[in-house]
Chain A
Amino acid sequence: MITFDKVSKTFPGGVQAVRELSMEVADDETLVLLGTSGCGKTTTLKIINRLIEPTFGHILINGKDIMEQDPIQLRRRIGYAIQEIGLFPHMTVGENIAVVPGLLKWSREKIEERIDGLLNMVGLEPDHFRDRFPAQLSGGQRQRIGVARALAADPPTVLMDEPFGALDPITREQLQNELIELQSEIKKTIIFVTHDIFEAVKVGDRIALLDAGVLQQLATPSELVENPANEFVDQFLGKHRFQLSLLTKTIKMVIYKSSPDVSTLSPEPPDSGLSARSSLIEALDMFKNTSRKALPVYDGKRFLGNLEKRELLQVITQVLEDTGGSS
């Protein structure tokens, strides 16, 4: 658990980048720091690994104040991935990944194993990529290595500063999807900075929306979109409310408000149906790929009922009206 206690940062010259930020990040949660340029999100991130020292306030990681720890040791236990990627051009992919494990004095075999494991995890064939140089890779491949490098020493916490910002939209989407899959496989607390609200709702378990150094709202994506806490949040959502609603509302939320007590025998295996947790957009996509008029809905293995396409479209139209229509 990471606790922020009235964390503040004022730069010499008077700029108050972060103002009394207090919040708690749960273990294994992905918390997104969201906001426009200059809102303090990157500053907040860099305070966690002490690249920037706070002016006031405390950050406790599992109860230990970061200011009481040696910054070098602290950083070796926190993964760090940045927008510019920053792979060392004079080292191979394998050597890049091996940096922190090397600093922590892992054994040769352990490091080799870890390199291969991570390359597999990010979808890059180890034998092919291990000895390549960053200059020979595409942007998407490089950032996958960047993420692998951040995860190399298996740190419990990972910091990501707009990691996909420098990539083209298609690659960005791919990497977002890969990250989401990765999140379910590995247990890590991830603090993710972005200015893109769509990325935030896609990737985050909770979102901390900042403006001028002040926390505006800390909530789950659907909560943020449904119930903006103040006018700033409202304006930040702006004309994207319709799309965001479709992305954050799940079938379970709007159609099956409560699951039936009796679990009916499911007529088909769960894979061919819809997960109750899929968003309205995902449900729409499923219908797009099939000619059927209704799909079964499952909450895990439990069958909840059949969802008709017509019903889904009605719900979406309702959301359209609720959110004022424009997108």
Chain B
Amino acid sequence: MRTYEHIYLTFIAMVIAIIIALPLGIYFARTRLVKLTSTVMGAVAVIQTVPSLALIAFIVVIFAVIALPTIGIVPALVALVLYALLPILRNTYTGIRQVDPSIIEVATGMGMKPRQILFSVELPLSLPVIMAGIRIATVWTIGIATLCGLIGAGGLGDLILKGLRSIRVDYLLAGTVPAAILALIFDWILGRLENWLTPAGMETTSPNK
């Protein structure tokens, strides 16, 4: 079913994006190489500004040149991952940077190793912000994934396109409504996850569900 394809596409894209963006965000937050950080973050931000349709087209063209499949899941995933990168990267970076420096100082002064500080202090404290980034990225990805119907990646986009081509409202609805519902459901699920992961002592800082 198209919906499952859609979820599948979104899921894979998100996982890849997280695997890339999370460690990168952590690295940038802690490194002193300011130039590198701002260059990469800037580049990712620029990608964001390109309209998704255009980016997809662009990727198709590039893939054609380097002889990679231009339709189907692969180019779709590339586009989706690129878009999902920025919210996650930026939020991870900001989340870690906004941890009170005196807490880090005390942690270091007490004899915690940098890795211990990361996992025991920095990440738990930046979790709400990171999760917010992941939620945003997920909702966007579900939306952008609909465009991937254009390049034969399947999913709900396929239905929407059929509906547009043949001006059949039922197809259109069959495509857009589930997409919207999916976005809402995932946002809600991730919201619960965020709540569950937020350490009890921090509840005052994230009042939204």
Contact = CB atoms under 8 A, between A and B. Distances in A.
B207 interface: no
Contacts of B46: none
Interface string A124-156: 000000000111000000000000010000000
What is the interface residue range for chain A against chain B?
20 to 34
Interface of A: 46, 49, 51, 72-77, 80, 82, 84-92, 99-100, 103, 133-135, 149, 159
Contacts of A72: 111-113
Interface string B57-86: 000000000000000000000000000000
A88 B200 CA distance: 12
B49 interface: no
A99 B201 contact: no
Interface stretch (B26-34, B100-108, B163-171): B100-108
Given A82-B102, A84-B102, A89 B108 contact: no
Given A90-B124, A91-B201, A99 B103 contact: no
B193 interface: no
B112 A90 contact: no
Given A82-B102, A82-B105, A75 B204 contact: no
* The 10 residue pairs across chains A and B that have the minimum distance between CB atoms: A133-B201, A76-B111, A90-B199, A86-B106, A75-B111, A84-B102, A80-B109, A86-B102, A90-B124, A86-B103
A116 B125 CA distance: 26
B121 interface: yes
Contacts of B125: 89-90
A75 B109 contact: yes
Given A86-B100, A89-B201, A100 B111 contact: yes
A75 B108 contact: yes
B203 to A, nearest CB: 9
Interface string B148-191: 00000000000000000000000000000000000000000000
Contacts, number: 68
Given A89-B201, A100-B111, 20 more contacts: A51-B109, A73-B111, A74-B111, A75-B110, A76-B110, A82-B106, A84-B102, A85-B102, A86-B102, A89-B125, A89-B202, A90-B121, A90-B124, A90-B125, A90-B199, A90-B200, A90-B202, A99-B110, A133-B201, A159-B109
Interface of B: 100, 102-103, 105-113, 116, 121, 124-125, 199-202, 204
A260 to B, nearest CB: 50
A134 B121 CA distance: 14
A49 B109 contact: yes
Given A92-B201, A133-B200, A86 B105 contact: yes
A51 B103 contact: no
Contacts of B111: 72-77, 100, 103
A243 B110 CA distance: 37
A44 to B, nearest CB: 14
Given A99-B112, A100-B111, A90 B201 contact: yes
B93 to A, nearest CB: 20
A135 B100 contact: no
A271 to B, nearest CB: 40
Nearest to B104: A86
Contacts of B100: 84, 86
A51 B110 contact: no
Contacts of B121: 88, 90
A51 B102 CA distance: 12
Given A86-B100, A86-B105, A88-B103, A135 B110 contact: no
Nearest to A93: B201
Contacts of A75: 108-111
A82 B107 CA distance: 11
9 contacts: A72-B113, A80-B106, A82-B105, A85-B102, A86-B106, A86-B107, A90-B125, A100-B110, A103-B110
Which of B105, B112, B201 has the most C-beta atoms of chain A within 10 angstroms of its own C-beta? Answer: B201
A133 B125 CA distance: 14
Nearest to B125: A90
A173 B106 CA distance: 24
B102 to A, nearest CB: 4
A236 B106 CA distance: 31
A74 B113 CA distance: 12
Nearest to B124: A90
A72 B111 CA distance: 5
A103 B115 CA distance: 13
Which of A49, A75, A88, A103 has the most C-beta atoms of chain B within 10 angstroms of its own C-beta? Answer: A88
A89 B100 CA distance: 10
Nearest to B102: A84
B201 A135 contact: yes
Contacts of B105: 51, 82, 86
Contacts of A134: 201
A103 B111 CA distance: 8
